[in-house]
Amino acid sequence: MICQKIYSDVKHQWFVFGRDPSKPNKIIDTNQYMIKTSKNAFLMDPGGIELFAPMLASIVKEIPLEQIKHVFASHQDPDIISSLGLWDKALTDATLFAPRIWEGFLRHFGMETMKFKGIPDEGDKLNIDGIQLQFIPAHYLHSSGNFNVYDPEAKILMSGDIGAAIEPVDAPMEVEDFDAHCKFMEGFHRRWMPSNTAKSNWVERVSKLEIDMMCPQHGRIFTGDNVKRFLEWFDKLEVGSAAIS
């Protein structure tokens, strides 16, 4: 599994994990993210049960395991968090931050040790060693209870399934040619995103944020002007329509 540091300053670093060559073929490729601060680590969308071992192996290359005190699940899907039952055993002092409405569902993956902090619909903030993170509501994009993580200091938005692309496991980690990349995103967004209203509302809110990097859970990271290009493209895209056509 590739582990790449995508941001670094004196207080914290961002890592992306993905493009796992050992993953079974029929499992969708996913990106996992981690923020490392001086004393803590924040693991975002840690992935499916099949990814537990490769993720663990990649993480201990960067931090000691006990540093992970915070885990985040943007929503309840298996590719996001079906590894929960195993992390629950491996992490001795961690809290899972996830949409409040999904608690009863997420516990089906097995959660006895980990604490649960439900994120209210309107969003929330989390301070880790002076890094103020924001849970940005992204409901119905695609899940009915769904959040992004925004780091105003690094200007990074972890956007979950928004901006996702379905492409081969060896695809580059960063979007280079936005127009060429659209074909990998269109079908996914038209089919998985059910609400134009939710989409427009999200685009409007997120457009006001300063974003240097938008990091989806599948596909490639958007940097620089490609973030703005994505927001414009997504705003115009008719979603929830794939099933009709």
Partner 1 sequence: MKKNTGKDFFIISAAVAGELFQAMRVAEKIALASSNAGVLAFRAGERAAGFGALTGFLAELSKKTGTMANGINQRAIKISQMSSNFLRTDSTIKQMQKVMRDAKDAPYIDSLQMPLENIQESTAREQILFNQEVNKLYSQLLDLKKELESAKIIATMSLVESSQADKEYRAALTDNAVKISDAAKQIETHVDNALALFR
Which residues here bind partner 1, judged by CB under 8 A?
A: 52-53, 56-57, 60-66, 85-86, 89-92, 110, 112
Pick the closer one to partner 1 by CB: 110 or 194: 110
Q: Least distance in Å: CB of 64 to partner 1? A: 4
C-alpha 157/C-alpha 210 separation (Å) is 9
With a CB cutoff of 8 Å and minimum separation 6, the contacts of 104 are: none
Structure tokens of 169? 């496991």
Tell me whether strands 124-128 and 115-119 are parallel, antiparallel or unpaired. Answer: unpaired
Structure tokens of 135? 């849970």
> Do 181 and 165 touch, CB atoms closer than 8 A?
yes
C-alpha 222/C-alpha 216 separation (Å) is 8
Q: Least distance in Å: CB of 49 to partner 1? A: 8
Q: Least distance in Å: CB of 190 to partner 1? A: 36
C-alpha 56/C-alpha 197 separation (Å) is 38
Pick the closer one to partner 1 by CB: 86 or 211: 86
With a CB cutoff of 8 Å and minimum separation 6, the contacts of 164 are: 185, 188, 189, 192, 216, 217, 218, 219
C-alpha 84/C-alpha 163 separation (Å) is 24
CB atoms within 10 A of CB 179: 8
Pick the closer one to partner 1 by CB: 67 or 76: 67
Q: Least distance in Å: CB of 2 to partner 1? A: 14
Pick the closer one to partner 1 by CB: 105 or 183: 105
Distance of CA 93 to the CA centre of its chain: 22
Pick the closer one to partner 1 by CB: 54 or 216: 54
Pick the closer one to partner 1 by CB: 87 or 230: 87
Q: Least distance in Å: CB of 86 to partner 1? A: 5
Q: Least distance in Å: CB of 112 to partner 1? A: 8
